[in-house]
Amino acid sequence: MSLVLHVDGDRWRNHLRETHAASPGLVPVAKGNGYGLSVGRLARRAQWLGVDTLAVGTYPELPEVVQRFDGDLLVLTPWRATDPPLAAAAERVVHTVSRGDDLVVLLERNPRARFVLERATSMLRHGMTARELWDAARVVRSTRGARCEGVALHLPLGRGGNLAEAERLLTEVVGADLPGAARRTVYVSHLSRAELGTLTQRWPDLVVRPRIGTSLWLGDRDALRVSAEVLDAHELPRGTAFGYRGRSFARSGHLLVVSGGTAHGIGLEAPTGDLGARGRAATLARGGLGALGLVRSPFFVDGAQRLFAEPPHMQASMLFVPAGDRVPAVGDRVDVRVRYTTTTADRVEID
């Protein structure tokens, strides 16, 4: 009984190699549920790719990667004074510092700490203003042996529209006059390949290091798919009560019980697809099922997206298959179309 993420290994590895080759200075990002693949697995892949730096999202993720990747480990979430001291691999960890006060405390506690300074972008998640960056750069210049390794810019999902902002920020970064390699090195997120190419051409003195997760690990959509197992199928004559809430439908069909529930992240977000009034009207026109007030599930049976018969359970979901449609056999596998970053499979099969 399991939800399985299937990976076409050759295809996936080809995409990783191609992305690596096309992205000089690549820093792969492994965080959260590991983009559906697990952070540990991505760390091993980063080692295999041969990059010198891997980014994780948070400090608690470090233990998942330290043994699997032997290069530098950039932590994307900014360091705060409340973070516990590093347990392992301290020499390989590069902190992100997003506030001047934190810089002072970090250097007090560990003058040998390696770090990048984060400049805020239009995202406004973390980062310093231009003035704060200049002040921080002054602290770095005046602290002998301070190991600042560059500046970080986390841009919004620009889909190619981030160039102007990136260039404006790069002008400030250069103006901050950081010492040594920090002066030249900029870690960027969410620039397109074309934008990265343009920046590299226009700023030949800078080393631009793209931090990439989604378009690296999940960039070739057809290399991955998720399947669920049919665990049970029950005839459901109209009016028959079922489920946790004893609801019933005015139409006959089958109840299909499949693996995959809230514990896997199923049903925690609206399935992709048009759920607006027009989409509902189309569903209504197709089979009258919209009239049952059901919600579309991410499960596909016989090529058709099925409706949840009731909200997903913790590890299984109940689907409604209307009378007349083919009912799969127990043990069959059905496709599930979900966001990998919010779905945790029981098993990942890479072939």
Ligand X SMILES: *Cc1c(COP(=O)(O)O)cnc(C)c1O
Contact positions vs ligand X (CB under 6 A): 29, 31, 76, 154, 189, 211-215
Query: In terms of DSSP bridges, do strands 253-259 and 185-189 run parallel, antiparallel, or are they unpaired?
Result: unpaired
Least spacing, CB of residue 212 vs ligand X, in Å: 5
Least spacing, CB of residue 342 vs ligand X, in Å: 13
Q: How far apart are CA 257 and CA 254, in angstroms?
A: 10
Token pair listed for 318: 């109940």
Closer residue to ligand X (CB): 76 or 289: 76
Closer residue to ligand X (CB): 221 or 245: 221
Closer residue to ligand X (CB): 30 or 230: 30
Helix, strand, or coil here: 88? Answer: coil
Least spacing, CB of residue 305 vs ligand X, in Å: 26
Amino acid symbol at 107: L
Least spacing, CB of residue 215 vs ligand X, in Å: 6
What secondary structure does DSSP assign to 164-215, as a single string? HHHHHHHHHHHHT---GGGGTEEEEES--HHHHHHHHHH-TTSEEEEEESHH
Least spacing, CB of residue 185 vs ligand X, in Å: 15
Dihedral (CA of 284, 290, 296, 300) sign: negative
Q: How far apart are CA 230 and CA 81, in angstroms?
A: 49
Least spacing, CB of residue 154 vs ligand X, in Å: 4
CB 116 within 8 A of CB 108: no
Helix, strand, or coil here: 219? Answer: coil
Least spacing, CB of residue 145 vs ligand X, in Å: 27
Neighbours of 1 (CB within 10 A): 12
Tell me the residue number closest to ligand X, measured at CB.
213
Closer residue to ligand X (CB): 76 or 137: 76
Closer residue to ligand X (CB): 213 or 298: 213
The DSSP element (H or E) to which 10 belongs, if any, is: helix 9-22
Closer residue to ligand X (CB): 56 or 256: 56
Least spacing, CB of residue 96 vs ligand X, in Å: 8
Task: Cite the beta strand spans of the chain per DSSP E.
Answer: 4-7, 27-30, 53-56, 72-75, 93-97, 114-119, 147-154, 185-189, 207-212, 224-236, 253-259, 295-301, 304-308, 316-322, 333-336, 347-350
Q: How far apart are CA 76 and CA 187, in angstroms?
A: 10
Closer residue to ligand X (CB): 114 or 211: 211
Closer residue to ligand X (CB): 56 or 257: 56
